[in-house]
């Protein structure tokens, strides 16, 4: 395969991504796609100098970012004025007509996705960068995380330079899956998809962002574009391969506008994602220019907001839940009530402070609302029950009767009996078996609870002693199922990495990103176990962004004798995984570069170029930094550091040649 065939293969795979993730109309099987993708990876591994920054393999970078650079945009992202009823909608229409000297406008009606607004920049058809709305003028560069969204085209169908705006969001199914995983891990669930999306976009590690089910819809071109109407621009955007909503209506009169808006009141529940209203825009671009904007909002557009889905119901009782980490959370059980197209029976109060704040008691009638049309939560008490029963904050764990504690400055109650609490133990073992941890299939919660209750499993290491003969004695466990469980446990020894083992061990405050950071530093479980707690803490503090509190928790975990006993038992049973090294490919593979001064491109773009070419971007000159890319107006500090540490200083044109794989000599 030559370079032309390689580029054609990249485009073919990106086209398949669009058909699958945007059009929902794939034209190849998963097996055929994987075969093409493997062929692409093989070529890039053999020809690193030919690597294209927009290759499908480059969606997920391997280097966590330490900051999100600020970007100043020339055309601010304005807010929208809101309207809530027909009278206000009519008043908006009259204002538009007045601004157009009585001319009747046509409108485009679009769903208002409850997500995170984003601006995307394409240069000659290639995705260059993306930034959050921020305050409208200044946003944050989240390009690395945006690249992980499969619906975002890395290459457009035409080599145009254009800025587009859109919304990043999560569909209900993906959001509910994430929340189920958080609850299983003993963490508080996200309140709504928007919060979850915002948090995902601000993850420091794009590999973790890639695991979040984020989607994208675009809705606007910055500037005029090659069309006279907004509706035509949307068609052009679809032609370019940008994801655009299929639920867009064009209307030419006020009655038709009102009918279109009212039609969304019930239809919105059929969408796979949450919307909180619709956006109404004047269609003709020339009329938009004539209408202009205020300092905060365009005069040619408005948002029609739907009222929140609310209902009144009675609180029956409050269940005290024990999480994997020992967190004690209150779960309210209510009289069944219809809300947003579903029957609601339960809602989390999240913590006991909320119960005190609401002054809610069993028997009270409460107003509940669906946040982002997903999770119901209690807004207020509307009627106090005649025989209301106050809800006392628990003092003992319902699982093991241990006295509960609250860390200083924290709102959550905890059961400190981490090793002896039956529910914590069962949930910790279940968490160890989860797909993102040791990935032991066929061990569901009911089976894990049976293993704990029968005494067959007291800690995660005991899983590796289980036999088929022991498992067939459990309820609803046949011989074939028992054989599958034993085989899955054995397979986990071969497939697990050190980071996945660390995730499964459930260290407080350590999720996937930080577990990987620990694993990439130590590489071998044996090396980690040989280090003293003091050495562990010092090593982790040296890792960028790890922080004092997190480093202390990891070192304390390995200082705890009972934790060490379990890990030693795992090692004795052949569970001692290593962390594979991530092979960087590209002209800058193995090189560490720092940037200073004013360059012709934003700092974030230079960073993206370095990482796309396989290099490591560093915020400051350190021992081992290979190059300092210096622009105009360079400060003296970094130049002195470079001289002191033997770092070569190069200008921007030399850097560009280096990034293309050209020889820049030893000067």
Tokens of 181: 């995983």
Tokens of 88: 């206000």
Q: How far apart are CA 302 and CA 283, in angstroms?
A: 13
What does 317-370 look like in DSSP terms, one character per residue? EEEEEE-TTSEEEEEEEEEEEEETTEEEEEEE--SHHHHHHHT-EET-EEEEEE
Q: Which residues contact 472 (CB under 8 A, 6 or more apart)?
A: 478, 479, 482
Contact assessment for residue 196 and residue 395, using Cβ atoms and an 8 Å cutoff: no
Helices (H) and strands (E) in the chain, counts: 24, 23
Q: How far apart are CA 59 and CA 53, in angstroms?
A: 9
Contact assessment for residue 355 and residue 431, using Cβ atoms and an 8 Å cutoff: no
3-state helix, strand, coil in the chain (%, to 5): 40, 20, 40
Strands (DSSP E) contained in 63-125 are 70-72, 82-83, 107-113, 116-123
Q: How far apart are CA 576 and CA 216, in angstroms?
A: 40
Max CA distance (Å), the chain? 86
Active-site position among 41, 70, 97, 112: 112
Strands (DSSP E) contained in 19-83 are 70-72, 82-83
Q: Which residues contact 409 (CB under 8 A, 6 or more apart)?
A: none
Straight-line distance from the first to the last Cα atom of the chain, in angstroms, rounded to the nearest whole number: 36
Residue from 128, 210, 216 nearest 167 by CA:
216
Residue from 130, 152, 131, 135 nearest 79 by CA:
135
71: β partners: 139
Angle, CA of 463, 465 and 468, to the nearest 5°: 95
Annotation marks residue 112 as catalytic: yes
Residue 77: how many other CB atoms lie within 10 Å: 19
What b/e sequence results for 427-463 when a residue is b if at least 16 CB atoms lie within 10 Å of its CB, and e otherwise? bbbbbbbbebbbebebbeeebbbbbbeeebbebbbbb
What does 245-295 look like in DSSP terms, one character per residue? -S--EEE-SHHHHHHHHHHHHHHGGGSSB-EEEEEEEESBHHHHHHH-B-S
Phi, psi of 470 (to 5 degrees): -70, -40
Contact assessment for residue 428 and residue 460, using Cβ atoms and an 8 Å cutoff: yes
Phi, psi of 517 (to 5 degrees): -65, -45
- Residues annotated as catalytic are 112
């Amino acid at each position: 395969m030559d370079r032309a065939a390689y580029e054609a293969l990249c485009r073919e795979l990106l086209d398949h991504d669009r058909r699958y993730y945007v059009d929902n109309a794939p034209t190849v099987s998963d097996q055929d796609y994987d075969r093409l993708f493997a062929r692409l990876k093989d070529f890039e591994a053999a020809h690193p100098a030919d690597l294209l920054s927009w290759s499908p393999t480059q969606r997920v970078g391997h280097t966590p970012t330490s900051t999100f650079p600020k970007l100043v945009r020339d055309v601010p992202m304005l807010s929208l004025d809101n309207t809530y009823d027909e009278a206000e909608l009519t008043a908006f229409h009259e204002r538009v007509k007045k601004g157009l000297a009585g001319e009747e406008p046509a409108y485009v009606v679009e769903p208002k996705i409850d997500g995170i607004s984003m601006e995307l920049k394409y240069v000659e058809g290639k995705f260059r960068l993306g930034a959050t709305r921020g305050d409208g003028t200044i946003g944050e560069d989240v390009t690395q995380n945006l690249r992980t969204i499969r619906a975002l085209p890395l290459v457009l169908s035409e080599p145009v330079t254009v800025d587009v705006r859109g919304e990043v969001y999560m569909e209900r199914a993906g959001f509910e899956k994430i929340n189920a995983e958080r609850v299983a891990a003993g963490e508080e669930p996200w309140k709504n998809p928007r919060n979850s999306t915002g948090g995902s976009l601000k993850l420091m590690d794009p590999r973790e962002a890639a695991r979040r089910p984020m989607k994208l819809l675009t809705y606007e071109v910055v500037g005029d574009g090659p069309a006279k109407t907004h509706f035509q621009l949307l068609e052009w955007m679809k032609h370019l391969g940008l994801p655009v909503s299929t639920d867009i209506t064009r209307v030419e009169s006020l009655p038709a506008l009102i009918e279109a808006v009212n039609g969304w009141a019930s239809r919105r529940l059929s969408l796979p994602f949450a919307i909180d209203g619709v956006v109404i825009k004047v269609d003709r671009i020339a009329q938009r220019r004539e209408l202009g904007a205020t300092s905060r909002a365009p005069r040619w557009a408005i948002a029609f907001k739907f009222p929140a889905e609310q209902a009144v119901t009675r609180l029956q009782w409050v269940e005290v839940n024990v999480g994997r980490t020992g967190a004690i959370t209150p779960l309210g059980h209510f009289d069944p009530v219809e809300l947003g197209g579903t029957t609601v029976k339960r809602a989390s109060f999240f913590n006991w402070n909320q119960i005190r704040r609401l002054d809610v008691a069993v028997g009270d009638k409460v107003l509940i609302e669906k946040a982002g049309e997903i999770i119901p939560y209690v807004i207020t008490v509307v009627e106090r029950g005649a025989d209301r029963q106050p809800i006392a904050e628990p003092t003992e764990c319902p699982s093991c009767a241990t006295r509960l504690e609250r860390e200083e400055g924290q709102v959550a109650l905890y059961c400190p009996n981490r090793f002896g609490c039956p529910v914590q133990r069962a949930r910790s073992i279940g968490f160890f078996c989860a797909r993102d941890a040791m990935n032991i299939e066929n061990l569901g919660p009911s089976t894990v609870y049976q293993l704990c209750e029968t005494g067959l499993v007291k800690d995660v290491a005991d899983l590796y002693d289980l036999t088929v003969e022991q498992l067939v004695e459990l309820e609803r466990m046949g011989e074939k199922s028992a054989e599958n469980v034993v085989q899955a446990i054995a397979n986990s020894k071969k497939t697990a990495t050190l980071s996945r083992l660390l995730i499964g061990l459930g260290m407080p405050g350590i999720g996937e990103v930080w577990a990987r950071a620990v694993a990439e530093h130590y590489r071998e479980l044996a090396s980690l176990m040989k280090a003293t707690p003091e050495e562990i803490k010092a090593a982790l503090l040296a890792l960028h962004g790890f922080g004092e509190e997190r480093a202390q928790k990891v070192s304390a975990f390995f200082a705890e004798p009972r934790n060490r006993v379990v890990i030693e038992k795992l090692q004795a049973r052949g569970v001692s995984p290593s962390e594979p090294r991530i092979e960087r490919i590209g002209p800058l593979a193995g090189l560490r570069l720092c940037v200073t001064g004013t360059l012709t491109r934003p700092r974030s773009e230079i960073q993206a170029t370095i990482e796309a070419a396989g290099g490591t971007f560093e915020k400051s000159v350190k021992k081992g930094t290979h190059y300092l890319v210096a622009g105009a107006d360079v400060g003296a500090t970094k130049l002195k550091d470079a001289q002191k540490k033997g770092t070569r200083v190069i200008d921007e044109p030399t850097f560009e040649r280096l990034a293309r794989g050209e020889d820049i000599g030893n000067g």
